[in-house]
Each structure stands twice: as structure tokens, then as C-alpha cells.
């Protein structure tokens, strides 16, 4: 169990680092796609923190994955918005 929590913490840290790098890219380029991706990666970090904190035997564990769904929706919205702006 401790190994899994360590790996989930590592995943959360990696997603936060990616979010910070993408936020820096957004600050330099002002391209909103980077901002959407930064928020999505920060949301994924919250997902991994939630998975690490919830006991696997608990019933509400599947609700944490709604956070992941929100992150993927942010990615899709960012890509669609970027493509719509390119078409104009």
C-alpha cells in the first residue's frame, strides 16, 4: 500500500511540474491552449492526490475519477478552441 501511495504522489508531483511548465509557456506566448493544458494537468494532480488519500475499500472512490473527467474535458475544450481560432 505504501508503494502505491508513493507512486501516486510521484504522479501528482509530475503533473504539477508539467502544469507549471505549461503555465510558463502560456505566460510567454499568451496562447490559451497552454493555459487549458496547465489547468488540466493541475486537475490531474488533484486527482492523483485524491486517489492516494482515499482508502481503496471505501465506496466513494469512483467519485475521484470525476476530477479526471473534468481534466480531459479541459483538454478537449482547449483543442477545439485552438482549432476554431485557426480556421478564422
User: d(Cα 63, Cα 54) in Å, to the nearest integer?
Assistant: 10
Query: CA–CA distance from 25 to each of 32, 35, 40, 57 (Å)?
Result: 10, 8, 14, 40
| pLDDT given at position 59 | 65
What phi and psi values does residue 54 have, to the nearest 5 degrees? -90, 135
What residues have CB less than 8 Å from 79, skipping those under 6 apart? 33
9 and 46 in contact (C-beta within 8 Å)? no
Per-residue pLDDT of the chain (88 residues; tens, 9 = 90+): 688 889 999 999 999 999 999 999 999 999 999 999 999 999 999 999 988 888 777 767 778 889 999 999 999 999 999 999 876 6
Domain extent at residue 57: 2-87
Number of structural domains found in the chain: 1
pTM over 0.85: yes
Amino acid at each position: 500500500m505504501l508503494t502505491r501511495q508513493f507512486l501516486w504522489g510521484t504522479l501528482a508531483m509530475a503533473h504539477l511540474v508539467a502544469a507549471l511548465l505549461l503555465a510558463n509557456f502560456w505566460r510567454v506566448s499568451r496562447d490559451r491552449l497552454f493555459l487549458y493544458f496547465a489547468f488540466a494537468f493541475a486537475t490531474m494532480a488533484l486527482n492523483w492526490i485524491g486517489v492516494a488519500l482515499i482508502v481503496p475499500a471505501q465506496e466513494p472512490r469512483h467519485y475521484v475519477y470525476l476530477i479526471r473527467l473534468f481534466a480531459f474535458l479541459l483538454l478537449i475544450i482547449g483543442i477545439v478552441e485552438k482549432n476554431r481560432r485557426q480556421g478564422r
